[in-house]
Amino acid sequence: MKKLREMARYPAAVVSLIMVLALLGIAVYAVVSMPYAEAVRLWRGAKGIWSDYSIKPDPVGVYPFLSGKLAVANSVVNPVEDAKKKN
The total domain count for the chain is: 1
Q: What is the pLDDT of residue 39?
A: 86
Domain that residue 30 falls in: 2-86
Q: What is the pLDDT of residue 48?
A: 73
Q: What is the pLDDT of residue 3?
A: 85
Q: What is the pLDDT of residue 52?
A: 62
Q: What is the pLDDT of residue 21?
A: 97
Written in H, E and C, the secondary structure of 32-71 is: HHCCHHHHHHHHHCCCCCHHHCCCCCCCHHHCCCCCCCCC
For the chain, give me the number of helices (H) and strands (E)? 4, 0
pLDDT (tens place) for every residue of the chain, 87 residues total:
888 888 889 999 999 999 999 999 999 999 899 899 888 888 887 777 776 666 665 555 556 666 666 666 555 556 566 566 666
- Give CA–CA dist 57/76, Å, rounded: 11
